[in-house]
Amino acid sequence: MRKRWEFEPKNIFSELLILLGRITQENLTYQIQYLKVENEILRKRIGKFIRPTPAERNRLLKFGAPLGKRIKDIITIVRYRTFLKWGRIPREQKSEKSNKRGRPKTIKETCELVVRLAKENAWGYVRILGELRKLGLHRLSKSSVKNILKENNLAPSPERSRDSWDCFIKRHFQTLWACDFFTKQVLTPLGPRMFFVLFFINIKTRKVCVAGTSRHPNREWVNKKVKSTLPLLRSHENGKKLLIRDRDTKFSKEFDELFNNNGFSVQKTAFMSPNMNAYAESWVGTIKRECLNHFIVFGERHLRHLIKEYVEHYNATRPHSSMDNVPLEDTPSKKTGNIRCQSKLGGLIKHYYRE
C-alpha cells in the first residue's frame, strides 16, 4: 500500500504537465495565427514591397532558422525560397550586397559620353538618345539618359540651351571689340579735376586704341570720337564684328547706330556687371597699376602724353602672359648681340632688346 501511494502522485504530476503543455501550445498556435492574419492585413494596407536591409535579414535569420521548415507557415515578409537563399549567403557578403533591383547600371564610359553630348550641345533627351543609337549604343532608354544627366546636375534642354556669356564671348572671339571709360584725377589751374578716357580693346589681339580724353564726355563728344576711331577698328578684321559696351548713358542710340552702319553688332552688358566686360576692366587695372598710379598728372596734355607712351609700349614691346609672353607685335628678335635698354616716362617703362 505504501508503494502505490508513492507512485500515484508522480503520475498525476506528469499528466498535469502534459495538460499544461497542450494548453500552452494551443495558446501559442492561436497567437501565431492571429499575428499572421494581422500582418497580412497591415501589408495590404501598406501596399509596398518591403526590402529588408542586411541587418534586418540577419535578425530574421537568427530567429527564423531554428524553426526549420515550420517557418514556411509563418513567414509573410518574403517568400520561403527567398528566406532559404538568405541562409546560403555568407554573412560577410550579406552586409555588402546591394539591395537594388532592376536593370543593371549603365557602364561608366557610356555615362561619360552622355554627359559630354549634353555639355557640348543643347540637345534634349531624345536627341541624345538618337546620337547614342547612331554610335551603336541601343540599350539606353530616354529615362536612363534623364537619370544620368540628373546625377551629374545637368538641367533639361530648355534650361541648358540658354547661352552663357562665356560661350558667347568665345564664339565671337575672333572679331570682338570692347569699349569703356576710366578716370584719372588731374591737377589743373582751377584745382583737381576728374578726366574721363574712352578706349577700345580688341579681344583677339589685345591691342588698345584710345579715342580721347575729356572732362565732360557727353554724347556728342563720344559720337565725334567714335567717327574718328572707326576706320582704325574696321581695319583689323574683315566680316561682321561685335562690340561689347556697358549701359553708361554716354553710349547713346546714335553711338549704336554708328557701329551698326559700319559692320558692327553692339551687345550691351547686364546692369552692374563689370565681369561681363572683363578684358576692358583688366586693361584699366593694368594701365593704372603700371603707369598712371605712379604719377601726379598736371593738366590734360600731361595725361595724354602718359597714356600715349604707355599704349605704344603696351601694343608694341610689352610681353603679354595671355599671349605666350610675347609682345603683340611679334617681330623677330636677335639671339646674339649686346643687350640694350630703352626707357620711357622717366625710367618707369623699360624695353630690353639686342643690337
Cα gap 333→339, rounded to integer Å? 11
Q: Tell me what pLDDT residue 237 has.
A: 59
According to CATH, the topology of domain 170-328 is Nucleotidyltransferase; domain 5 (3.30.420)
Question: Which tens digits make up the pLDDT trace of 264-302?
Answer: 889 898 888 888 888 899 999 999 999 999 999 999 999
Cα gap 281→7, rounded to integer Å? 113
pLDDT at 3 over 60: no
pLDDT at 87 over 80: no
Higher pLDDT, 75 or 193: 193
CATH 3.30.420.10 positions along the chain are 170-328
Q: Tell me what pLDDT residue 280 has.
A: 92
> In the beta sheet, which residues pair with residue 203?
none
- Quickly list DSSP for 6-63: HHHHHHHHHHHHHHHHHHHHHHHHHHHHHHHHHHHHHHHHH-S-----HHHHHHHHHH
Average pLDDT, the chain: 80
Question: Which tens digits make up the pLDDT trace of 150-199?
Answer: 888 877 766 555 556 566 566 656 678 999 999 999 999 989 999 999 99
pLDDT at 48 over 70: no
Read off the pLDDT of each residue in 212-239 and give the average, rounded to a whole number. 86
Q: Which of 190, 286, 312, 177 is nearest to 232 (CA)?
A: 177
Higher pLDDT, 27 or 169: 27
Count Cα neighbours of 48 within 13 Å in the Cβ-side half-sphere.
4
Q: Tell me what pLDDT residue 235 has.
A: 65
